[in-house]
């Protein structure tokens, strides 16, 4: 009861970061949005800190692709864990294909007849999707080896390399991650068009591509084991959130030390009362030792398509020049990982 | 399938209105936020158009008071329908009292022992609230007449007048509305500390103040009857939304013409599947003839403490000088209403 | 960590109360549903305990009318606070009119053309609604006096009396409450077709009916002042919840004693993070002194159309014969209230 | 506007299936719950129809384990797709370990100090979890082969076989599925304690267990390719929903025929406005060709811990003896699948 709230004032022309600072003295989710910027800023100022981003939901069809690639390029995140859909849709746009402004109030039977696929109020051309599927199967898969046990990270890395040579759109998430040295995990890659196109290469073209998903657990947990400290940013919940959370548990088992995440931010509409991991609070996560008992943490209940662009702009304004310890990941042949930190200005 | 989406780009330093324009080419609630600005802007450009604002939720404790008073002063709204709580908390701050930055993770039993009242993550001093209650009863009520059948609008007007003479904080919603000629209805004034303090004046001080709530229906519906066109903006749902919606039905009965609202915007977390009026879609409202079949309309699912400041800033930037037909309400003795429009620059 | 959960077993033919008992040993909202029955059962066993029911949402169109009248007739509740809409729709059905099984996936423009009003997936005939409006204005209003300051409770009581003489459907909420001596408050009666039809009697038929809504605050708070103990059941949030909650505050001011509610149950989809009173937790309410610090309390997040019938059946099974202290309300001319308790078997 | 709604009546002692039938004539999610039973009953009556169950959320800790095993044993479902967590927690209870009745209002810092892990209002003993992890690594993993490319289905099958020999609790989901010939897929097995314990067998014990997640896509899509018709039941959303949905797309590509699901039911709190697959409507899914344009379909917005036990009881009562075409899956060495249908009474 020491700090009075300050009603936010309308000041046309004010910057977005100035607005989020003003929101810190208000209440409810507005304040949480302000705190989201603060917590992320603290992550960026922490030494030898690795920032995980968990990305669920259909963020790329909803136009969030360049926000993610911005965060990657400016190394406001260090590791990405994504659903397959976001990577698939990124690849689709990287190939020059588009999503379309649609409506959520529409007759889906009619859409079906025109092979228009709907994602809430975004439309897509099913024929174009089919061509992207074939592109994966016929253009990309020849660059993968048979019988090698790939982690999803390695497959996405190969995809980034191929997109680079292919001349893809430069703000692609996959390509940006490739260029910036950001590992991308997709623990349920099989649960997407990207995954089933790889399967079709095996089934229809006699390939023997292996996606060894246990390798994903191994590699991802090593990051949290080896890191100085770790921070987590979750856009939505789903597999990416749990997958990142569990690295703290695994790394704890392995090292016999507390490896809980030290900063934590989630932007999601998933609420705790249904008991799912997507919506569980960071306090609940503390009971499991996934989040540090003294962590700076904030949950902001908002659609990410509103909150994420605001937070990214605010960070961009706060850190015109970002100077931080950027982790460089070096994966050994036997699955070992070394992380070096380079002081970079981004 | 003609308009491709355009991923929003992070451009530090860009204005808020530029951001909301960019969101128009994205998807999900981000796009709706962009559309919210567009629809409201259209309301402001429409001739002889009366803009209702329905205000529910604890918006004043959450620091939205100056956003509302800004909208009033710049006449981006013409009539306000509010819950009692928002007006009570506005009065509290108008008297120089404060709300405080608190936490939603707190032991409420301890708060009770310190007479700290919690509103999610905002705190308030119960003793100060009690003094505001007494102020209403002892300072304000003497300015009301016995046995006069007040509408809530008239009581709030008298309160505005008194606050003006008393020297209240100038960004008070009630005071701003008084100065700007914006009628304020509070259909459930009895459901608030403001209402019960009026009751205590009757019970404990021998007063006979009458709040005739049927008069509220009469007065409010006349606005929609007499208006050129009407537009609605709903922050949350609740009584304010239904009360404004029903003016279209009543005015329709009275005039035997379609008096449906022509522009409609709601920012709320109330969803349609529970069947309540708070969350019902504008499409559902069209079946009732409350919203015009060709209305420009948008529902944005977001916490208003995030969305409202953004929309208000974007409007403020879009309309550095707002020139519109400002309605001037003249209430006759017999309950009649005349509306004149003055072209003003605000 | 003493009580293990017990997975619920599927036992076809088991009773509903046996199911809710089984749910007590599970988790999440299933357990809360079980607890809801337990807490309500405790209310019924408490001596000289007055049970408030707050009823928001469109519960009557959704087919919950007979559940409410059952609760009234068996005196599982003692006072009802309702939105105007629920009472209006009850009146509509009491007059023999119906709501219809519709769909939420429908073209509202077409509905408009056929004067079909939609409430999510329930339809209604607008022409029939119009006749109910006129019935209120022309049939019922002649039974009200001019210039008498009615509370909403008094108006609903008069409506119950009239429905009784008129021969209404016996499971009407209004009629059941009239027969069972259950006071019904409607603090925002003006925010409904019931309210505006009273207004039309004034405007079009030269009547001077007064609905003095301050009287509602006075009468309702006296119940909590005079009661032995009080309990609250909230179906949804809205004005009914706040109105009942505030009686604890007012009664506390008046008596200078703690008058907080001792048992508390809410079934709602309103969540706390938006800061509104509808979704605020009972813990938050404890900070205000509205809910006792030792109260038995449970919030069950569920659509009431699912949870309420289950809870009512479970209570009906648990209390085949309910023997409790039934409060009898006697309102004096000067606004005073006396409550007597009669031990009845229901 | 032909079928009037019928208010549900409280009839203590009525059966659960009688209640859900009564709810069919009400509105909102109550009606949807009634429809959920109807749609599922139709699935059971359809010839040569394969019923997929997608299971997300922490359903086992919440006490839903025996409901799922009942559905498996009575072959009300034919294939299960689950999150790793549900299988892990099932295994934990199969080993005789328990979850505990806790509270969501608790100090998680204290829980941490006692190694109590919280899942909303359910507690668990972290030390017991750790022993289950070790049991997987040390007891179960020796039964898996090195360098064999397992699908998750094959691993879960092996686990079922081992649990059978080990003498596990008979209502285990994994064990019931093993006994009943129900394939269980876990597309993101790596995202769970089950997955990371397999990884530890590799890392710490020199094993070379391969979980080839592309094989999951292959096997699962073959089911929808070969099936007579397919139906889907989703408890929650997440990976299980998308994974089952995509089998329709893959099978369509493969067969060049429409392989969309013919019956569809979801019980979830995921809403469509956030654009994610978890909450997307079945109408949206029709635009993609995942759900048949004439499908019987219903989305019921409810916590599954409330809705699922009710639906299961109602089905159990409706089908005291269930006689249907039970699919028997025969997986060939080269990944081929044959399905035979046996008319069985269950």
Distances (CA, A) of B89 to A65, B99, C289: 41, 9, 18
CATH topology of domain B16-345: Deoxyhypusine Synthase (3.40.910)
Q: Does A94 touch chain B (CB under 8 A)?
A: no
Asked whether the predicted pLDDT for residue A54 surpasses 80, the reply is: yes
Neighbours of B125 (CB within 10 A): 18
Name residues 162-191 of chain B within 8 A of A (Cβ). Answer: 171
pLDDT of residue C334: 80
pLDDT of residue B335: 82
B2 or A186, higher pLDDT? A186
Q: Which of A26, A268, A273, A275 to mutate to test the interface with C (most CBs of C within 10 A)?
A: A273
Q: What is the pLDDT of residues B182-213, one digit of tens each?
A: 999 999 999 999 999 999 999 999 999 999 99
DSSP code at position B12: T
Region D134-148: mean pLDDT is: 98
Q: Does A122 touch chain B (CB under 8 A)?
A: yes
Determine the Cα–Cα distance for residues A338 and A329; give it in Å rounded to an integer: 6
- D210-211/D149-150 β-pairing: parallel
Q: In the numeric block, which tokens belong to residue C315? A: 């209570």
pLDDT of residue A334: 80
Residue in the structure block whose two tokens are 């799912």 = A276
Of D27, D271, D275, the CB nearest to B271: D271
3-state SS, residue A149? strand
- Answer whether D275 sits within 8 Å of B301, measured CB to CB: no
Gap from D267 CA to chain B (nearest CA, Å): 13
Q: Does D10 touch chain C (CB under 8 A)?
A: yes
- Answer whether C62 sits within 8 Å of D26, measured CB to CB: yes
Region B36-44: mean pLDDT is: 98
For chain D, give the mean pLDDT.
Answer: 97
Task: Find the closest chain D residue to B27 by CA distance.
Answer: D275
Q: What is the pLDDT of residues D266-290, one digit of tens each?
A: 999 999 999 999 999 999 999 999 9
Half-sphere exposure (Cβ direction) of C105: Cα atoms closer than 13 Å: 12
Region D225-252: mean pLDDT is: 98
Gap from D274 CA to chain B (nearest CA, Å): 6
Q: In the numeric block, which tokens belong to residue B238? A: 């609740």
Counting residues of chain D whose pLDDT is more than 70, the rounded percentage is 100
Active-site residue (options: A32, A66, A241, A290):
A290
Could you tell me the pLDDT band of residue C319, with boundaries at 50, 70 and 90?
very high
Q: Could you tell me which residues come within 8 angstroms of residue C256 by beta carbon, excluding any fewer than 6 positions away?
A: none
- Answer whether D61 sits within 8 Å of C31, measured CB to CB: no
Q: Edge-to-edge strand order for the sheet containing A116-119?
A: A100-101, A122-125, A116-119
Region A269-295: mean pLDDT is: 98
Could you tell me the pLDDT band of residue B292, with boundaries at 50, 70 and 90?
very high
Q: Does A271 touch chain C (CB under 8 A)?
A: yes
Determine the Cα–Cα distance for residues D239 and B48; give it in Å rounded to an integer: 52
pLDDT of residue B65: 98
Q: Does D67 touch chain C (CB under 8 A)?
A: yes
CATH topology of domain A48-306: Deoxyhypusine Synthase (3.40.910)
Asked whether the predicted pLDDT for residue D168 surpasses 80, the reply is: yes
Q: What is the pLDDT of residues C196-241, one digit of tens each?
A: 999 999 999 999 999 999 999 999 999 999 999 999 999 999 999 9
Q: What is the pLDDT of residues A116-139, one digit of tens each?
A: 999 999 999 999 999 999 999 999
Q: What is the pLDDT of residues C102-134, one digit of tens each?
A: 999 999 999 999 999 999 999 999 999 999 999
Gap from A120 CA to chain D (nearest CA, Å): 5
Q: What is the pLDDT of residues C199-210, one digit of tens each?
A: 999 999 999 999
pLDDT of residue B309: 98
Q: What is the pLDDT of residues C17-35, one digit of tens each?
A: 999 999 999 999 999 999 9
Q: Which residues of B are tagged catalytic?
A: 290
Region A315-339: mean pLDDT is: 95
Q: Which residues of D are tagged catalytic?
A: 290
Q: Which of D89, D188, D193, D208 to mutate to test the interface with A (most CBs of A within 10 A)?
A: D188
Q: What is the DSSP string of B138-188?
A: IIIGGGSPTT-EE-HHHHHHHHHHHHHHHT--TT-HHHHHHHHT--EE-TT
The answer to whether A232 touches D214, Cβ cutoff 8 Å, is: no
Q: Which of D57, D204, D276 to mutate to test the interface with A (most CBs of A within 10 A)?
A: D276
pTM across the whole model: 0.98
Asked whether the predicted pLDDT for residue B1 surpasses 80, the reply is: no
pLDDT of residue B303: 98
3-state SS, residue A320? coil
Asked whether the predicted pLDDT for residue C302 surpasses 90, the reply is: yes
Q: What is the pLDDT of residues C60-70, one digit of tens each?
A: 999 999 999 99
- Helices and strands per DSSP (H, E), number in chain B: 13, 13
Determine the Cα–Cα distance for residues B297 and D172; give it in Å rounded to an integer: 51
Region D120-129: mean pLDDT is: 98
The alpha carbon of D327 is separated from its chain's Cα centroid by a whole number of angstroms, namely 17
Contacts of D123 in chain C (CB under 8 A): 1
B332-336, C177-181, C234-238: the lowest-pLDDT one? B332-336
- Answer whether B309 sits within 8 Å of A10, measured CB to CB: yes
Q: In the numeric block, which tokens belong to residue B346? A: 């605000």
Q: Does D302 touch chain C (CB under 8 A)?
A: yes
Determine the Cα–Cα distance for residues B296 and B293; give it in Å rounded to an integer: 9
DSSP code at position D212: B
* Burial of D98: CB neighbours in 10 Å, binned 0-12, 13-18, 19+: middle
Domain ranges of chain A: 48-306
Gyration radius of chain C's alpha carbons: 20
Q: What is the pLDDT of residues B73-111, one digit of tens each?
A: 999 999 999 999 999 999 999 999 999 999 999 999 999
Of D121, D214, D277, the CB nearest to A195: D214
Q: In the numeric block, which tokens belong to residue B44? A: 């402001």
Could you tell me the pLDDT band of residue A1, with boundaries at 50, 70 and 90?
confident
pLDDT of residue B333: 83
**Taking chain A, what is the end-to-end CA distance rounded to the nearest angstrom?**
40
Q: What is the DSSP string of C56-100?
A: -SSTTTTT-HHHHHHHHHTTS-SEEEE-HHHHHHHHHHHTT---E
Q: Does D267 touch chain C (CB under 8 A)?
A: no
| DSSP bridge partners of D80 | D53, D184
For chain C, give the mean pLDDT.
Answer: 97
pLDDT of residue C335: 82
Asked whether the predicted pLDDT for residue B310 surpasses 90, the reply is: yes
Asked whether the predicted pLDDT for residue D309 surpasses 80, the reply is: yes
pLDDT of residue C140: 98
Name residues 23-62 of chain D within 8 A of C (Cβ). Answer: 23, 25-31, 33, 58, 60-62
Q: In the numeric block, which tokens belong to residue B277? A: 């009026």
Asked whether the predicted pLDDT for residue B150 surpasses 80, the reply is: yes
């Amino acid at each position: 009861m020491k700090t009075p709230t300050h009603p936010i004032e309308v000041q046309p022309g004010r910057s977005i970061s100035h607005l989020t600072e003003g929101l810190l003295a208000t209440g409810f989710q507005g304040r949480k949005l302000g705190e989201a910027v603060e917590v992320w800023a603290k992550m960026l100022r922490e030494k030898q800190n690795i920032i995980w981003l968990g990305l669920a939901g259909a963020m790329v069809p909803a136009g969030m692709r360049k926000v993610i690639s911005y965060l990657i390029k400016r190394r406001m995140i260090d590791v990405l864990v994504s659903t397959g859909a976001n990577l698939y849709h990124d690849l689709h746009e990287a190939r020059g294909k588009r999503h379309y402004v649609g409506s959520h109030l529409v007759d889906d039977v009619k859409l079906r007849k025109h092979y228009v696929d709907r994602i809430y109020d975004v439309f897509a051309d099913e024929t174009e999707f089919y061509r992207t599927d074939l592109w994966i199967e016929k253009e990309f898969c020849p660059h993968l080896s048979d019988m090698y046990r790939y982690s999803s990270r390695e497959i996405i890395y190969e995809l980034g390399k191929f997109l680079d040579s292919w001349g893809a759109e430069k703000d692609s998430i996959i390509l940006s991650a490739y260029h910036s040295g950001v590992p991308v995990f997709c623990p349920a890659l099989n649960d997407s068009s990207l995954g089933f196109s790889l399967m079709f290469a095996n089934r229809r073209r006699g390939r023997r591509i292996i996606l060894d998903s246990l390798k994903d657990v191994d590699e991802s947990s090593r990051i949290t084991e080896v890191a100085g400290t770790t921070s987590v940013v979750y856009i939505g919940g789903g597999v990416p959130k749990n997958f990142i959370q569990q690295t703290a548990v695994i790394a704890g088992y392995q090292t016999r030390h507390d490896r809980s995440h030290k900063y934590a931010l989630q932007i999601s509409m998933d609420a705790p009362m249904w008991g799912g991991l997507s919506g569980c609070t960071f306090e609940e996560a503390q009971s499991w030792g996934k989040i540090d008992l003294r962590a700076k943490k904030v949950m902001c209940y908002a659609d990410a398509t509103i909150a994420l662009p605001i937070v990214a702009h605010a960070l961009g304004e706060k850190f015109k020049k970002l100077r931080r310890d950027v982790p460089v990941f070096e994966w050994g042949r036997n699955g070992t990982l070394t992380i070096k930190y380079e002081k970079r200005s981004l």
